[in-house]
Amino acid sequence: MTKRTATTILNIELAAIQTGQAPEWVELFPAGPDIAARDGRRFTLPDPAAVIAAFHENKGPLAIDYEHAQAHRAPKGEEAPAAGWIADMEIRDGAVWGKVEWTERAADMVAAREYRFLSPEFLHDKAGRVHAIVGAGLVNRPAFVMTALSRQEDTDHPTPKETKMDLTALCRTLGLDTGASLDQILAAVDRLKEDKTTALAAAEKPDLERFVPRADYDAQKTKAEEATTALAAFKADQTKADADAAIEAAVKAGKIAPASRDHYRALCARDGGLDDFKKLVGTLPVIGDPSDLGEQQPGDKSAALTEGQRSICAAMGVSEEDYAKSLAAERT
């Protein structure tokens, strides 16, 4: 999967906990899934939990610098000092928030409103799907409308203090203890996703026994099997009949000896044997006069007479069998 790093795209304005102090928790990414930047680019945040999981897999804090110096100045060998460190992350109403350990200098600059916005650096694919946050920079040109890092206190409408998200109701819904950790909650959500995938797969391939009576299903299955067996038997009989016809035609044509019928029947019984036999017959020479024995066996003496000899028998009033015997006696 191709990943790209985006910087200075999401410039997030974050509110101070109270006037004159840099906030401990800052918004790193707005709630998705669709996120539009002021410069026209669009991104999606389909799975905030995956972004947090990627942070934990990194097993270390992520740097916040000034004006994305890590991306632009550090590669040139120039100084790119940290303004703070993202030490933890959590989800709040679909948005990704980070716990920041500010440097003294950066905290003073934020409190003095010298920097008011935060721009995260993140990895995304070609489709714009966000996969991980790799850092952030203090900036003053916002691309997104987000919570301010530092803003003047409105005495008529004071900024409320941050409160820790109450996950009690969520824990009850997931069947967890009210004191469950964030990792346990995320694991329960992952299980719900897996259950959803399993349910959708089952819906695509339902159990027929739940919709069709078993007896009816078995009866139809038996009929199908019987029909298949009958069709196979019909095909076998048809193949045998075609083979016998081809063999008899070859006998009458004088291409094969009548006594070799069984040999050629065995050949035709093989897979593709009938086609092989027909090709063979086409290459064989005539080894005897064309036979007019038909279905008669060679032992039937009357069948050995030619049409001319039969005409003689009819004219003389002699039986064909007696005439055949006399011819046989003459040959001996």
Most confident of the ranges 122-131, 134-143, 172-181: 122-131
Per-residue pLDDT band for 43 (boundaries 50, 70, 90) equals: confident
**Average pLDDT score over residue span 176-202:** 79
Cα separation of 197 and 190, whole Å?
A: 11
Question: Poorest-confidence range of 3-17, 88-102, 228-242, 311-325?
Answer: 3-17
**Average pLDDT score over residue span 130-156:** 64
Q: What's the whole-model pTM score?
A: 0.41
> Which pair of structure tokens corresponds to residue 308?
């001319």
Between 150 and 278, residue with greater pLDDT: 278
Position 289 scores a pLDDT of: 59
pLDDT digits (tens, 9 = 90+) for 232-250: 777 888 888 888 898 888 8
Position 181 scores a pLDDT of: 75
Question: Is the pLDDT score of 56 beyond 80?
Answer: yes
Question: Poorest-confidence range of 99-103, 132-136, 198-202?
Answer: 198-202
> Which pair of structure tokens corresponds to residue 117?
């916005």
Position 102 scores a pLDDT of: 92
Question: Poorest-confidence range of 106-115, 169-178, 295-304?
Answer: 295-304
Position 192 scores a pLDDT of: 82
Using a 10 angstrom Cβ sphere, with 0-12 exposed, 13-18 middle and 19 or more buried, the burial of residue 24 is middle
Give long-range contacts, CB 8 A cutoff, 24+ apart: 150-159.
150/14, 150/15, 150/16, 150/22, 150/23, 150/110, 150/111, 150/112, 150/113, 150/115, 150/116, 151/13, 151/15, 151/16, 151/113, 151/116, 152/19, 152/113, 153/18, 153/19, 159/15, 159/16, 159/18, 159/19
Position 176 scores a pLDDT of: 83
Give the type of residue at 14: L
* Average pLDDT of the residues of the chain: 75
Position 276 scores a pLDDT of: 87
Question: Is the pLDDT score of 316 beyond 80?
Answer: no
Question: Is the pLDDT score of 90 beyond 90?
Answer: yes
